Amino acid sequence: MLSIKGLRISLSLLVSIAVVLAAVVITAVCAYGDYIHKSSRVVTVCGVEKVAKTDDGKTITGNLVYTSDGVYTYNDYAWLGLGMRTSSLDGYGKIAVGEKYAIETYGWRNGVLNMAPNIISATPTDESPVGSC
């Protein structure tokens, strides 16, 4: 037993609280950490693909954009600090293969979890892109 200003707390209770707090922090970082990583770059679009896959009877769709700098998604989102987009198909439909875009993204590429950064905006540009197709 530990005694802090008259409050008696067992060591096992303190360890349990610390483990629960650590689990909450790790879960939050893993689940939402990609939303806070925002970046910008100029890329050439090498290809686009609309995918749909079934996972336990649930259909999951995604709009993939293959670029000179890797794979990105162009999906709807709603997140504090980033705003909201519910019309990703409109923007995705305007992405042209072979064209250069200044893109803003959030998230990281994670091949194990099959995650890719999501494009927030794509603006046509004449700047030099990163990499090549």
User: Which pLDDT belongs to residue 95?
Assistant: 93
Question: How much of the chain exceeds pLDDT 90, in percent?
Answer: 29
For 87-115, how does the pLDDT look when each residue is reduced to its tens digit (9 = 90+)? 777 888 899 999 999 999 988 776 666 67
Per-residue confidence at 128, pLDDT binned at 50, 70, 90? very high
Residue 76 inside a domain? The answer is yes
Is the pLDDT reported for residue 19 higher than 80?
yes
Residue 129 inside a domain? The answer is no
Distance CA 34, CA 19 (A): 23
Whether 108 and 50 share a structural domain: yes
Percent helix, strand, coil in the chain, to 5, is: 25, 45, 30
Distance CA 31, CA 33 (A): 6
Whether 28 and 44 share a structural domain: no
Distance CA 69, CA 57 (A): 33
For 20-53, how does the pLDDT look when each residue is reduced to its tens digit (9 = 90+)? 888 887 766 665 555 567 889 999 999 998 887 6
Whether 69 and 20 share a structural domain: no
User: Which pLDDT belongs to residue 65?
Assistant: 93
Whether 25 and 74 share a structural domain: no
